[in-house]
Structure 1
């Protein structure tokens, strides 16, 4: 099993697990909990807007540099999606890291999007469907939370019982790194993660894997109960 960052060269084939804890795939997991049927994940804000023209009935969600673009329906915020009317809707999501990471995987044996919220379900899905396939875990962010989630998932896949407290501590460390980075920005460009953090730290709340289907210019995520 290989754990790698966004700067590394992506191996061909195998099961690819793309991790974004703060906040893209926590947001996606909450969306599916709220009744969303599928999410078209775009590599960029521009591609997201193009998909929105193609699928005008879908809500456009996401961020650029952490902030919701003015023409998007919802931001990249699990708290925001937790209170939105989403049952039966389909979404388009475009984010700086998570959805871009999915786009880096053109021909995987299987492709999954993972946050702490669905990490256990992802491990169960992989064990049930691709137990013997090579695996790559792609951490889309440089901060601590994605790497903590990757280590936790690797432990589950190796048959261990990793400590949830270590995962939560890693998420909190990552959130502190984000906060320090945002504090250096102008006030108008800062992002407050405080309301989203409890969703990001809620390990295994979602009992489904988020499985990706690679299309020509995007990846479609659907929830698969596990």
Structure 2
């Protein structure tokens, strides 16, 4: 088992677990909780717009430099998603790290999207469906929260009992790094994470795994109860 950054070479035939806690896959998990049936994950905002032209009934979700583009239906915000009416809807999501990372691995044994919300369900699903298969845990961001989630998931997969408070502390540390970075930006470019933070820290809230199916130019995510 290995924990790597998004630019690392990942061997084919491994279980690839792509992690984005703040905020792409937390937002995706909340969208599935709200009734979304599929999320098409695009490698860029332009690719997301291209998919929207092909699927005009899909809702477009995501961010550029953390902020919602004017022509998107939703930003990359679990708080915003938590009040959306999504029963039976399909989404397209395009983000700077999470969805961009998800499309980079062409030949995995399985491809999964993870945040703290579904980390326990993901460990159980892997143990049931791919026991003994090597796993690669990909941290799409460079701040502390993704590595904390990867370390927690690695512990679960190896049969230990990692401490949930340590995971939450790592997420809080990562959010603090984001906040410090945003504080250096002009006021119009700053991102307020305060309403999203409780969702990002809600460990094991979601009792499903998010499974990716590789398409020609994107990845289709669906939720599988676990």
* Structure 2 counterpart of 1:73: 73
Give the count of matched residue pairs: 226
Counterparts of 2:40 and 2:25, CA distance in 1: 13
* Structure 2 counterpart of 1:210: 210
CA offsets 1:18-44 (integer angstroms, 9 cap, x no match):
000000000000000000001000000
CA offsets 1:109-130 (integer angstroms, 9 cap, x no match):
1000000000000001100000
Runs of 4+ in 1 over 4 A off after TM superposition: none
CA offsets 1:132-185 (integer angstroms, 9 cap, x no match):
111100000000000000000000000011000000000000000000000001
* Structure 1 counterpart of 2:195: 195
Is residue 184 of structure 2 the alignment partner of residue 180 of structure 1? no
* Structure 1 counterpart of 2:106: 106
Describe the SS at the equivalent of 1:18: strand
* Structure 1 counterpart of 2:33: 33
* Structure 2 counterpart of 1:169: 169
- Once the two structures are superposed, the pairs formed by residues 27-176 of structure 1 within 5 Å of their partners are 27-176=27-176
* Aligned CA-pair RMSD: 0.5
Counterparts of 2:180 and 2:225, CA distance in 1: 37
* Contact 2:60 2:91 (C-alpha < 8 Å) held by counterparts: yes
Residue ranges of structure 1 left out of the alignment (5+ in a row): none
* Contact 1:10 1:104 (C-alpha < 8 Å) held by counterparts: no
